[in-house]
Amino acid sequence: MRKQIAAANWKMNLTYEQGEKLLQDILAVKIPGQAHQQVIFAVPFPYLIMAKTAVAERTDYSIAAQNCYSKKSGAYTGEVSAEMLYSIGIRYCVIGHSERREYFQESDEMLAEKINLLLVQETTPVFCCGEPLEVRKAAGQNKHVETQLQKSLFHLTAEQVSKLVIAYEPIWAIGTGQTATTEQAQEMHAFLRSVLEKQWGKETAEAVSILYGGSVKASNAAELFACPDVDGGLVGGASLVAQDFVQIIKALK
């Protein structure tokens, strides 16, 4: 079975103490993780070492950065490189979240550079893609996400792509309380997998975990994760509430 993943994206939330307590509360619940399941916490840069230390004894729990820069090193004040993340033991990094694309004008070409640097550092990119509401209303979602994949991923080999995690974000459902129906989620995830298969073959397409990211909650996680091509979730607001995120972890296939 493909890796089933519950990924928490804390975004720019929580103080150090609040983040530490949230991890403690989640870890206090002894969830019997299975070999094909992974829990990932994407935390703000200042909390990476604290969070990594907190989950050190859990092989099924990992820590991710929420971003990295598109250059290896240099005079880029305020940025963080893939090499820096690797040097402190971080092995996952979220790339191309819709908020990064919208607020910081990150292009597909820039994301391709970030992915290249992360793969050199043996760090798994969690690559986000998805359409805004106006594209969905115009029934252009398939073309939109296919273009995102083409521009950011199509230069990679099958072996490299198999190391990625993809997160599909219907942007119109992020933080709005709206959620894609299970039919919409499955349809888009199946389409994304078909794009992977067309470019790199069925074996590679079947190996890549594709997460759903759009107002995943404790109340809808099980239904969404039951879809055959949905391999877990990238969770925002609900990941900041220990009891909610615990239920989401338990909902993994």
* Burial bucket for residue 122 (CB in 10 Å: 0-12, 13-18, 19+): exposed
Active-site positions read 97, 169
Element (H, E) at 165: strand 165-168
Fill in the amino acid letter for 107.
S
Give backbone dihedrals phi and psi of 32, rounded to 5 degrees, phi first: -75, 90
The Cβ-side half-sphere exposure at 109, using a 13 Å CA radius, reads 0
What is the Cα–Cα distance from 198 to 186, expressed in whole angstroms?
Answer: 18
Q: Are 161 and 208 in contact (CB under 8 A)?
A: yes
H helices of the chain, where?
16-27, 48-54, 82-87, 98-103, 108-120, 133-137, 141-153, 158-161, 182-200, 202-207, 221-225, 242-250
SS3 68: coil
Q: Which residue has the tokens 């298969």?
A: 197
What is the Cα–Cα distance from 139 to 131, expressed in whole angstroms?
Answer: 10
Cβ neighbours of residue 123 closer than 8 Å, sequence gap 6 or more:
82, 85, 86, 90, 91, 92, 93
